[in-house]
Amino acid sequence: TYTKEDATHQILHLINLRNNDNLWVDEHGNKKDPEILHNLKVKFYTDKKISAAYLASPDYNGCESTPLPFETGKDPSGTYLQFTVGTLEYWGMVYLVS
């Protein structure tokens, strides 16, 4: 996972490396396809109040952003946002609006 943020958005890049190493650039097309992940549960800690979450991926839905249902909570590590990504083949981007 790789994250970025500005004043009103936080972006999480989800990269599926299941059954592969972290040298994910495959210039010669030799790597196996990753194992597709289903119902991937994500817990992301943030101090920002999130009003909406969206998921976009070139792997499905033509890279069109779709609303991502989420719930919030708090535990000893802090305040978090929790959601489930239905399918992660190669790459997905979650963006959170505060």
- How many residues would you count in the chain? 98
CATH number at residue 23: 2.60.40.1180
The answer to whether 45 and 78 are in contact (CB under 8 A) is: yes
Q: Where are the beta strands (DSSP E) in 16-77?
A: 37-45, 52-56, 66-67, 70-75
Contacts of 98 (CB under 8 A, 6+ apart): 8, 9, 10, 48, 49, 50, 51
Range of the domain at 83: 2-97
pLDDT computed for residue 26 by the predictor: 74
Confidence tier at 1 by pLDDT (50, 70, 90): low
State the Cα–Cα distance between residues 82 and 44, nearest whole angstrom: 6
Q: What percent of the chain has pLDDT over 90?
A: 63
Tally of domains in the chain: 1
Q: What is the pLDDT of residues 43-60, one digit of tens each?
A: 999 999 999 999 999 988
Q: What is the pLDDT of residues 65-95, one digit of tens each?
A: 999 999 999 999 999 999 999 999 999 999 9
